[in-house]
A = this chain, B = another copy of it.
Amino acid sequence: MQESATTIAIGPEQPSTRLLEKAIVGAGAKVGELADADALIWTGTPDAFPTELPAAVRWVQLPAAGIEDFFDAGVFAAHPDVLFTSAAGAFAHSVAEHALMLLLAGVRYLPEHLRATSWQQREFFPHVGSLRGKTVTILGAGGIGRALIPMLAPLGAHVIAVNRSGRPVTGAGIPAEVETVPAEQLSRVWSHTDHVVVAAPATAETRHLIGADELARLRPSSWVINVARGSLIDTDALVDALSRGVIGGAGLDVTDPEPLPDGHPLWTLPNAIITPHDSNPPQLRLAAFADHVGANVTRFVAGEPLLAIIEPERGY
């Protein structure tokens, strides 16, 4: 077998780079020292990034989706001739899967089932719902939203995606029937929304995007899922809506305040599911990063455009 011409370094050395090595070799390159490398998969912090790189290194893959810290550390300015890629999009899958899990568990009445210690079929029957034929509104059509839509499609749910521009959301596995609504017209989605998934960035404009008014326009069977940031939902309004049965329930991987303090009412409301911001735990992050590295090394070896290219002059 001919030896691969493309050499990829991993740095800084870490105990758990086996998954990355496997991804690199699986993509048709070999793992080597930085001195011999064509590219570098960086697994460390911005501060530890080398001030000089061997001239042969043409591409650096960074380990984060948000790369503000690498800007602040001057990494891009120090290496103007190197192509940098981020891990944008790589970590969305696990969060989208988590959102789907929370939504299904809510809609199918799992919290009450888990508390039961006797066979209550007749009591539970009327509360078991389905996503089939229901409309799920996703606030935010970034990586998480775009990963979630293909998961909802085979369940027979209709999806309304809300983004800033209102430009139709497209991508692999996203059905043509998905309706895209610009954020400024958000108020017109509530009357035909059954469930809401919050997956938008936290900004001044999205603070308390879901408040008492929005909750009041949902249904007694509606579930609200938040996998974005706690501040997008008005927590007091949510607790009130959950307590009075204004909505069916809430599945929250993020809270405001976060961490949610002991004794907070959300811990004990029967129709609230709290997961402590663990929708994307470290071991899944590493596996997702390795998948992303594999995809990018494959493209690098083939001379094709890489995923998630950083354009320093544009600031992202």
Residues of A at the B interface (CB closer than 8 Å) are 93-94, 97-98, 100-101, 104-105, 108, 110-111, 113-114, 116-121, 124-126, 128-133, 150-151, 153-156, 173, 258-262, 267-268, 273-279, 281-284, 287-288, 291
Contacts and interface: CB of A to CB of B under 8 A. Distances in A.
Given A114-B273, A154-B151, A267-B118, A282 B125 contact: yes
A209 B255 CA distance: 44
Contacts of A287: 130, 132-133
B279 A128 contact: yes
B173 A124 contact: no
A178 to B, nearest CB: 14
A284 B97 contact: no
Contacts of A153: 154
B278 A117 contact: no
Nearest to A284: B130
Contacts of A131: 97
Given A113-B274, A113-B275, A121 B259 contact: yes
B155 A97 contact: yes
29 contacts: A93-B130, A94-B132, A97-B108, A97-B130, A97-B132, A98-B128, A101-B104, A101-B110, A110-B114, A113-B275, A114-B114, A118-B262, A118-B267, A119-B259, A119-B260, A119-B261, A119-B262, A119-B276, A120-B276, A121-B277, A125-B282, A126-B283, A128-B284, A129-B284, A130-B287, A133-B287, A133-B291, A150-B154, A154-B154
